[in-house]
């Protein structure tokens, strides 16, 4: 009978540890998701205030007007 009692104690402590570990894992996942939302990389690329295509296009037009890159 003593062996069964020891097994039950081990099982109870394992459940307690696994619950704490599960709680810790959930906290880490939650904080990581918050971190990723704060990074928000894709919205930075889609930001219209820094439209790369417009910037490049205006520079190409300026270079064409100045005839830069053409040998005379």
pLDDT digits (tens, 9 = 90+) for 22-54: 899 999 999 998 888 887 666 666 555 555 555
| Per-residue pLDDT at 17 | 78
pLDDT at 1 over 60: no
pLDDT at 7 over 90: no
Q: What is the mean pLDDT of the chain?
A: 70
Q: What is the pTM of this model?
A: 0.39
Q: Which single residue is written with the structure tokens 């704490």?
A: 20
| DSSP tag of 1 | -
| DSSP tag of 56 | H
């Amino acid at each position: 009978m003593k062996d069964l009692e020891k097994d039950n104690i081990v099982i109870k402590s394992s459940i307690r540890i696994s619950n704490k570990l599960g709680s810790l894992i959930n906290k880490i996942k939650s904080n990581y998701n918050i971190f990723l939302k704060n990074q928000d990389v894709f919205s930075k690329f889609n930001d219209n205030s820094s439209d790369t295509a417009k910037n490049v296009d205006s520079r190409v037009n300026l270079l064409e007007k100045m005839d830069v890159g053409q040998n005379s």
